C-alpha cells in the first residue's frame, strides 16, 4: 500500500515548478501503478500550451476557473470545480487560467517525476528521460 500526504510531498523533489504551473507528483512510474497521479496548479492569469504526444491525461478540476481550448478544432470549454476533461487523442490544447486552477491529473504511461514541457508543450519519452 502507498500512502502519501500532499503537503509533505510539496516539500520534496516531487514538486516541480515551471513558469505557469507547479505539479506535485504523488504517484510516479517507480511506484509501479501503471499511471502517475499529480496535483497541479496552473497559475491565475496565465496560459499554457500543451500537447502530450507520448502520454494520455485525464484532468479533474478541484478549484478555480479557466478555459480549455482545442488547437485542432478551436472549440473551447469552461474549466470549473467538478469539471473533467480527458486528452484521449494526444490533443494539442491551451489552458487559460482566470484564477489559480487546482487540478488532479492522471498520466498514462506514468511520468518519472522531473519532466517539464519542452518547447512544443510535450513531456519527453522514456528514452529521452533515460538518456538525460
Cα atoms found within 13 Å of the Cα of residue 60, Cβ hemisphere only = 8
Task: Give residues with Cβ within 8 angstroms of 3, minimum separation 6.
Answer: none
Tens digit of each residue's pLDDT (9 = 90 or more) over 60-84: 999 999 999 999 999 999 999 999 9
The CATH class that applies to domain 14-113 reads: mainly beta
DSSP character for 6? H
> What residue ranges do the domains of the chain occupy?
14-113
Tell me the three state secondary structure of residue 65: coil
pLDDT at 131: 43
Tens digit of each residue's pLDDT (9 = 90 or more) over 7-37: 999 999 999 999 999 999 999 999 999 999 9
* Closest C-alpha among 5, 27, 106, 121 to residue 60: 106
Tens digit of each residue's pLDDT (9 = 90 or more) over 110-121: 988 766 655 655
> For the sheet containing 36-42, what is the strand order?
15-17, 21-27, 36-42, 101-108, 56-63, 84-87
Amino acid at each position: 500500500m502507498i500512502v502519501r500526504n500532499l503537503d509533505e510531498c510539496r516539500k520534496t523533489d516531487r514538486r516541480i515548478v515551471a513558469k505557469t504551473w507547479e505539479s506535485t507528483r504523488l504517484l510516479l512510474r517507480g511506484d509501479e501503478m501503471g499511471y502517475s497521479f499529480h496535483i497541479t496548479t496552473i497559475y491565475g492569469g496565465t496560459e499554457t500550451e500543451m500537447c502530450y504526444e507520448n502520454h494520455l491525461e485525464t484532468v479533474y478540476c478541484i478549484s478555480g476557473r479557466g478555459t480549455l481550448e482545442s488547437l485542432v478544432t478551436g472549440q473551447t470549454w469552461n474549466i470549473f470545480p467538478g469539471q473533467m476533461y480527458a486528452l484521449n487523442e494526444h490533443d494539442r490544447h491551451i489552458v487559460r487560467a482566470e484564477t489559480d486552477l487546482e487540478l488532479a491529473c492522471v498520466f498514462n504511461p506514468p511520468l518519472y517525476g522531473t519532466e517539464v514541457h519542452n518547447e512544443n508543450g510535450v513531456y519527453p519519452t522514456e528514452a529521452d528521460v533515460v538518456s538525460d
